[in-house]
Amino acid sequence: MRDLKYDFASIEPKWQKKWQEEKTFHCENHSDKPKFYALVEFPYPSGQGLHVGHARPYTAMDVVARKRRMDGYNVLFPMGYDAFGLPTENYAIKNHIHPAKVTHDNIENFTKQLKMLGYSFDWDRVINTTDPSYYKWTQWIFLQLYKHGLAYKTTMPVNWCTSCKCVLANEEVVEGVCERCGSPVIRKEKSQWMLKITEYAQRLIDDLDDLDFIERVKIQQKNWIGRSTGAEVTFKATTGDEIVVYTTRPDTLFGATYMVLSPEHELVRKWLDAGLLHNAGDVTAYQKAAASKSDLERTELNKEKTGVCLSGVEGINPVNGRRIPIFISDYVLSTYGTGAIMAVPAHDERDWEFAKKFGCEIIEVVSGGEDVQKAAFTAKDETGILVNSEFLNGMTVKDAIPAMTEWLEEKGVGHSKVNYKLRDWVFSRQRYWGEPIPMVYCEKCGWQPLPEDQLPLLLPDVESYEPTDDGESPLSKMTDWVNTTCPCCGGPAKRETDTMPQWAGSSWYFLRYMDPHNDKALASPEALKYWSPVDWYNGGMEHTTLHLLYSRFWHKFLYDIGVVPTKEPYQKRTSHGMILGEGGEKMSKSRGNVINPNDVVAQYGADTMRLYIMFIGDFEKAAAWSDNAVKGCKRFLDRVWNLSEQCSDSLEHTPANESSLHKTIKKVSEDIEAMKFNTAIAALMALVNDFYANGCSKGDFATLLLMLSPFAPHMVEELWETMGFAAAKGGMACQQPWPVYDASKTVAAQATMAVQVCGKLRATVTVPVDSDEGTVVAAALADPKVQKFTEGKQIVKTILVPNKLINLIAR
């Protein structure tokens, strides 16, 4: 009897069925209880199914959600599927199956797996971004963005994946290659729908201050938005044209010895057209070379600066009237600032490198560094003093920046300026499996939004999902669908054939959960008011600058137009570490080290899987899977199961366990809230060890079960029922109040204190709790091990840390 194993294979489905039938975790949009909205990132339903990387955040938030219910909250803990996207479309192309069918099958599989793990989602609120009743509202939000001038179409160089034949957002290009397929990304001029996220740049930074996001998320978002302050300065060209440059160092203006325009700069085109450039051939050749370069090549060539001097045109420095050469070079980006710079080689490393290669003059204007002919001096602190700069001479850099800015403004040749690295969001994809963009183009009226009563604009069936070779969406071949009438004049018009990127549906999904079946609005104002904001959102760090930033942007927009009641969508954001394969390597099919949750559940049960994934290590850090450690968790659950048959009948707590029980309640309660699941479980294991050592009552055991229930809900419910607690307390363990501890009972009557002599541990003494210094010193000095080190010496000082430690300083 002692080493009986519990039969998880029959227990787990039994309780999952009961939760489903009784809708145990269903929640209403009103309650006397305080609300708590816990959110995890909904999965992309890939063909591979759920993997252990999903299980970590899902289990963590399930533990939190289950505990908060027991704490007396009305908890919304929903799940759904982010199902538009390329892998499904590629699979459909390869196997000639409709993406909707693939999506449906994958979702079915995911749902089965999520239920198998016993998550307490409200299954009545499941959403699917590819469902027309959902994407109707994604399209609706797009129309609102358009109507408020935040969506626009423009021709611009975009990131073009050579393999996916598709435009990518900057965020989807990683080290010059496509984030998804790894193929090189080149620049291509295309007409694209854009969203003006840059309009929200400052608010996206400022409002982080009021949020409870983990610090590294805030820092990463701020870095990504990349605010910098400086000045725009207008230089004249000898042609009479004005060249506006952006600089963060207006103090160094006297050191500007040449200028650089990006190869795409409009003035270059203008001067070429006007025949002003003597070396037009070199210039156009350079422009052509730069345009065809992929981002990867640009980065690789990063070491060696290239460029062409524009012969026949010069710039004029507004501070001293000096004529300086103008270059074009791809180290100046057309997409940042004004696409033109003043080069100060003495105080900028890139300019210095370029100047050395092209023989430009290097003039020191900030002293305090090494010889500027040998290296650029870039320090911005008090170490530098301005020289060779007329009215700025003798100032520190810090003082010279505002002084020069003021001078520029007075003379009308410049002004202070804030710039952001963040760029507008490229919102079109030349792909099939996405939300159709609800816009119509009419030769007479231009772009027209589809009237809202025509939403959803359904994605039509096509024969082939392959993108066309000229980069148009497969939808462009559907002439019946493309040809329509203009909503404005009624004349012939064509629909937009591009679709939205995958990030669209996930930018607002958390709102739909609040009221998922509403067909009048994306969610009712009452539901939005009741549940907003999401109280706690856990997700991966990889979404920090993508999904998390995009959805904050959309939410702020919806707030501005009065749709949502809060200016931020998520109050708290936490993030989990990755699960690595055995041995610490990333899990991948090619390495053959992928752990399938189905196998783990089949062998050990869902409760063991859940417990282990929470016990594996620090939640925020990466952790390597270990089959042996899984066994340890199973062993622990077996020990709990067997302990149930050894409890005494008393419903009172056993005195011997009292302080460890109360300490454990405190520890587990606090650790779950702090996402220190590993130590919460360690505390439960230690408590079970105590119970085995001291014996335990039914009352002790019931408390243990309640604390264990968020981690191992199936086994706990089974024991709760068979031991008669369900009948006695009326309901399942997950419906009971969370145990409370009595602070006065967390301390034992006796304290074991460390005794140090001169800071070195020499003994421990056991004294009554809260003993005063005199008592502790006397007890310490009575110990022969202490006497050995104090003999013949005088105690000159004692330091007491109550109930912890006494340090005797002896001389």
Partner RNA sequence: GCCGGUGUGAUGGAAUUGGUAGACGUAGUGGACUCAAAAUCCACCGCUGGCGACAGCGUACCGGUUCGAGUCCGGUCACCGGCACCA
Give, as ranges, the residues between 350 and 369 that touch RNA (CB under 7 A): 350
At residue 423, what is the residue type?
A: R
Q: In this chain, which stretch among 82-90, 443-451, 452-460, 681-689 interacts with RNA, using CB under 7 A?
A: 681-689
- The contact mask relative to RNA for 412-451 (x = CB under 7 A, - = no) is -------x-x------------------------------
Annotate 272-285 with b (16+ C-beta within 10 A) or e (fewer).
eeeebbeebeebbe
Q: Sign (positive/negative) of CA torsion 47, 52, 54, 58?
A: positive
Extended beta strands in 424-530, E state = 425-426, 439-442, 446-449, 483-485, 492-495
| By CB under 7 A, residue 330 contacts RNA | yes
Nearest alpha-carbon partner for 571 in 115, 38, 174: 38
What is the C-alpha to C-alpha distance for residues 232 and 248, in angstroms, rounded to an integer? 9
Q: In this chain, which stretch among 333-341, 489-497, 554-562, 700-708 interacts with RNA, using CB under 7 A?
A: 333-341
Torsion of CA 68, 70, 73, 79, to 10 degrees: 60
| By CB under 7 A, residue 673 contacts RNA | no
Nearest alpha-carbon partner for 116 in 604, 641, 635: 604
Name the residue nearer to RNA (CB basis): 333 or 778.
333
Annotate 773-786 with b (16+ C-beta within 10 A) or e (fewer).
eeebbebbeeeeeb
Least distance from RNA to the Cβ atom of residue 289, Å? 12
Binder to RNA among 177, 310, 365, 685 (CB under 7 A)?
685
| By CB under 7 A, residue 692 contacts RNA | yes
Q: Is 477 exposed, middle or buried (0-12, 13-18, 19+ CB in 10 A)?
A: middle
| By CB under 7 A, residue 381 contacts RNA | no
What is the C-alpha to C-alpha distance for residues 107 and 16, in angstroms, rounded to an integer? 18
What is the C-alpha to C-alpha distance for residues 65 and 38, in angstroms, rounded to an integer? 7
Name the residue nearer to RNA (CB basis): 301 or 778.
301
Binder to RNA among 315, 337, 414, 467 (CB under 7 A)?
337
| By CB under 7 A, residue 476 contacts RNA | no
> Contacts with RNA in 103-162 (CB under 7 A)?
none
| By CB under 7 A, residue 624 contacts RNA | yes
**Rounded alpha-carbon distances, angstroms, from residue 418 to 195, 205, 207, 232, 719:** 20, 13, 18, 9, 63
Least distance from RNA to the Cβ atom of residue 272, Å? 20
Least distance from RNA to the Cβ atom of residue 325, Å? 17
| By CB under 7 A, residue 686 contacts RNA | yes
Binder to RNA among 305, 547, 576, 698 (CB under 7 A)?
305
Binder to RNA among 668, 762, 776, 779 (CB under 7 A)?
762
Binder to RNA among 10, 479, 628, 744 (CB under 7 A)?
628
Least distance from RNA to the Cβ atom of residue 247, Å? 4
Least distance from RNA to the Cβ atom of residue 166, Å? 19
Nearest alpha-carbon partner for 538 in 113, 74, 58, 34: 58
How many residues line the site for RNA (CB under 7 A)? 85
At residue 220, what is the residue type?
A: Q
Nearest alpha-carbon partner for 51 in 415, 540, 377, 773: 540
**Count of positions (residues) in the chain:** 811
Binder to RNA among 123, 152, 336, 447 (CB under 7 A)?
336
Extended beta strands in 206-363, E state = 212-213, 227-237, 242-247, 258-261, 308-316, 323-328, 340-343
> Contacts with RNA in 39-58 (CB under 7 A)?
none
Inter-residue contact 453 to 435 (CB < 8 Å): no
Taking 3-state DSSP, the helix, strand and coil percentages for the chain, each rounded to the nearest 5, stand at 40, 20, 40
At residue 22, what is the residue type?
A: E
> Contacts with RNA in 260-289 (CB under 7 A)?
262
Binder to RNA among 8, 91, 331, 377 (CB under 7 A)?
331
Binder to RNA among 9, 758, 769, 782 (CB under 7 A)?
758
Residue 618: HSE in the Cβ half-sphere, 13 Å Cα cutoff: 3
| By CB under 7 A, residue 694 contacts RNA | no
Binder to RNA among 14, 477, 631, 745 (CB under 7 A)?
631
Extended beta strands in 636-775, E state = 750-757, 760-768
Binder to RNA among 60, 616, 640, 705 (CB under 7 A)?
616
Binder to RNA among 207, 618, 658, 721 (CB under 7 A)?
618
| By CB under 7 A, residue 299 contacts RNA | yes
| By CB under 7 A, residue 769 contacts RNA | no
- β pairing state of 572-574 and 212-213: parallel
Name the residue nearer to RNA (CB basis): 74 or 608.
608
CA end-to-end span of the chain, whole Å? 62
Binder to RNA among 74, 545, 575, 790 (CB under 7 A)?
545
What is the C-alpha to C-alpha distance for residues 739 and 798, in angstroms, rounded to an integer? 40
Helix, coil or strand: residue 454? helix
| By CB under 7 A, residue 348 contacts RNA | yes
Binder to RNA among 48, 212, 764, 773 (CB under 7 A)?
764
Inter-residue contact 451 to 487 (CB < 8 Å): yes
Q: In this chain, which stretch among 143-151, 715-723, 739-747, 796-804 interacts with RNA, using CB under 7 A?
A: 796-804
Question: 327 has which bridge partners?
Answer: 260, 309
| By CB under 7 A, residue 590 contacts RNA | no
Residue with tokens 């004294």: 767
Name the residue nearer to RNA (CB basis): 674 or 778.
674
Least distance from RNA to the Cβ atom of residue 349, Å? 8
Binder to RNA among 462, 478, 488, 754 (CB under 7 A)?
754
Identify the helix (H) or strand (E) that includes residue 348: none
Least distance from RNA to the Cβ atom of residue 618, Å? 3
Least distance from RNA to the Cβ atom of residue 329, Å? 8
Least distance from RNA to the Cβ atom of residue 674, Å? 9
Least distance from RNA to the Cβ atom of residue 679, Å? 5
Least distance from RNA to the Cβ atom of residue 612, Å? 9
Least distance from RNA to the Cβ atom of residue 112, Å? 29
> Contacts with RNA in 190-249 (CB under 7 A)?
215-216, 219-220, 223-224, 226, 228, 230, 246-249
Name the residue nearer to RNA (CB basis): 391 or 692.
692
| By CB under 7 A, residue 741 contacts RNA | no
Token pair belonging to 723: 């031991």
Binder to RNA among 93, 602, 629, 795 (CB under 7 A)?
629
Binder to RNA among 316, 541, 594, 602 (CB under 7 A)?
541
| By CB under 7 A, residue 626 contacts RNA | yes
